[in-house]
Structure 1
Amino acid sequence: MKRNRINNNDGGMIFGFIILGVGVLILLRKLNVFYPVWLLSWPMILIAIGVITLVKHEFKSLFGVLMLGLGMFFLLEREFNFNFGLQNYVFPIALIVVGIYLITKKQQEKQALSDFQEKINARASSVKNSTETTSSDAEYDKEGKTAFYSQSTDKKSFSGMSGTSGTSYSDSVSIDSIMSGINKRMLTKNFQGGKLTAAFGGIDLDLTQSDFTGMVTLQVDVIFGGIKLVVPPHWDVRVEVTNIAAGVEDKRSYRHADVDSEKILLIRGTVFFGGLEIKSY
């Protein structure tokens, strides 16, 4: 099923190649072998972060584009003496881009919620006005209503409403916390995973009221930020993240007898100068 599919775009391998490349360059320096010095400059860190993030998110991450763009800008300016005349405008422009992204995303979520509510109201009105139905028609109508709800919650427009603080009935979660804090509680009984990105910000995600069957994948990317996950105690949580100068803490009390082997939450991603905390109540 769809919710059991694991995302194969894992940046862990890309990150491994980057670490391998850095090691090779340092070795070449020790051996006095010539290579471009800019390959070990600090803007390359931003470029590497951007590449890893874009690969993990299938090249659909604003944060990845922002990191890659800033890295290229500083690299060309500092190492190749390109004068773009934007030294005093880089930071405010970056803030404007992030602000436009957050406003646009919020408007999309509101529109998706409005469209979904209109469909629910139209469906309820149609059912109420049907005064002459046979028993078979009534059964068909009941099944149709159930099918409508299932199809509606599977639509990307509905699943996209999970990016802001508050309560969400979406089946999947997609949160980008950039220089901000977001608290989210998921109430779906058909949780399908998703992705969390915290950059210079924090995310608190409460999954204690959620449920699913099978295996779902939650992609987490933390860069100078933190993510806190609260999960039901009987879920089988498996953490497969790459952490660099970061802390990954599983604070759940281990009770093997209570673990449901049919509910596997696989957490994958990268934690870079940040923290990931998993708790249960």
Structure 2
Amino acid sequence: MNNFKRPKNDGNIAFGFIILGIGVILLLKKMGIFIPSWVLTWPMILIVIGTFAIIKHEFKSFFGFMMLFIGSYFLLKNEFDFDFGISQYIWPIGLIILGIYLITQRKRENRIIEDIRNNWQANKSTGAFKSSTVEDAKIVSEEGGSTSSSTDSGFTRTTGTSFSDKLNIDAIFSGVNRKMISKNFQGGKITAAFGGVELDLTSADFNGVVTIQVDVIFGGVKMVVPPHWDIRTEVSNIAAGLEDKRFFRDGGVDPNKVVILKGTILFGGLEIKSY
């Protein structure tokens, strides 16, 4: 059986505490207990999203720290009249930092992919990879890149065909199209925040049970799967939609190919279909 190894922090606990906190705040307000007005403002939404992303990625999320900084800045400025004198520069500076990050991240990803290709070809007979290359691939994956951290998982780019065995997709204010062709598919994770993901699994294959962690916040995920896969959804929907548009063949589903979808969908949607 193909066992999927769960990540150290799949984000469910952090997201659960966030939802719990929102529920407690709304309940206290309905009960007439004083709740500061700034708690329910738009900068707090950014702070919550940033906090969730930081915890989910074990304090290695550039997007999380960016959202936390912007939310904290506007919260202090709008609600507490803290004027740091940089209002007119905040967006240009933010765009410059974001641009530098994307450029350096892309160059690093391309370098690591090229190293993996070279080592893959050089060590094809033994299947060995240089440890430094593997560690770099792990770092890129943890920072939100799309390179797989497994030594036998191949490589993948931000969009297009993936040669990895595991999913690691982060669509933050963007769209990602991914086609998996691995014959040893091992599940993985998908995160969509203010973005969308289109995942094609029709060319992938596996045996056993795999788990895909799906977390959607103000976004959408569309999955195209083979009609004989057994898809079991265990996601939590909060003001969200879940549509199963699969086309079932006469032969039914294969009990040896089970995909379990876990996670949380908040103000978003998940669509599952087959051809």
Instruction: Single out whichever of 28-37 and 70-79 deviates more from structure 2.
Output: 28-37
Cα distance, 1:114–1:30 mapped onto 2, change above 3 Å: closer
- 1:267 aligned residue: 261
SS at match of 2:223: strand
Counterpart Cα distance in 2 of 1:181 and 1:33: 41
SS at match of 1:232: coil
- 1:132 aligned residue: none
Q: CA deviation at 1:210?
A: 1.2
Which residue among 257, 272, 275 is the counterpart of 1:278? 272
Counterpart Cα distance in 1 of 2:75 and 2:170: 26
- 2:218 aligned residue: 224
Q: CA deviation at 1:169?
A: 0.9
Q: Does 1:148 align with 2:127?
A: yes
Cα distance, 1:264–1:94 mapped onto 2, change above 3 Å: farther
Cα distance, 1:191–1:84 mapped onto 2, change above 3 Å: farther
Q: Which has the larger radius of gyration?
A: 1
CA contact 2:179–2:201 (8 Å) conserved in 1: yes
Counterpart AA for 2:148: S
- 2:117 aligned residue: 117
Instruction: Single out whichever of 262-271 and 186-195 deviates more from structure 2.
Output: 262-271
1:1-281 matched pairs, under 5 angstroms:
3-7=3-7, 9-123=9-123, 145=125, 147-148=126-127, 155=134, 157=137, 159=148, 161-254=155-248, 258-281=252-275
Counterpart Cα distance in 2 of 1:100 and 1:272: 30
Cα distance, 1:242–1:55 mapped onto 2, change above 3 Å: farther
Counterpart Cα distance in 1 of 2:95 and 2:246: 37
Instruction: Single out whichever of 75-84 and 99-108 deviates more from structure 2.
Output: 99-108
Aligned residues: 259
SS at match of 2:24: helix
Alpha-carbon RMSD across the aligned residues, in angstroms, is 3.2
Q: CA deviation at 1:231?
A: 1.5
Counterpart Cα distance in 1 of 2:176 and 2:22: 35
Counterpart Cα distance in 1 of 2:239 and 2:95: 26
SS at match of 1:118: helix
Q: CA deviation at 1:148?
A: 0.2
Instruction: Single out whichever of 170-179 and 10-19 deviates more from structure 2.
Output: 10-19
Counterpart Cα distance in 1 of 2:89 and 2:242: 36
SS at match of 1:248: strand
CA contact 1:3–1:193 (8 Å) conserved in 2: no
Cα distance, 1:34–1:116 mapped onto 2, change above 3 Å: closer
Q: CA deviation at 1:111?
A: 1.6
Counterpart Cα distance in 1 of 2:230 and 2:263: 18
Counterpart Cα distance in 2 of 1:149 and 1:188: 19
Counterpart Cα distance in 2 of 1:220 and 1:101: 25
SS at match of 1:211: coil
Counterpart AA for 2:178: K
Q: Structure 1, residues 141-200: CA drift from partner, whole Å, max 9, x if none?
A: xxxx2x507999x94635164341121211222222333332221111122222223333
Structure 2: any 5+ residue segments left out of the alignment? Answer: 138-146, 150-154
Counterpart AA for 2:127: F
Counterpart Cα distance in 2 of 1:194 and 1:105: 21
Length-normalised TM-score, structure 2: 0.78
CA contact 1:176–1:196 (8 Å) conserved in 2: yes
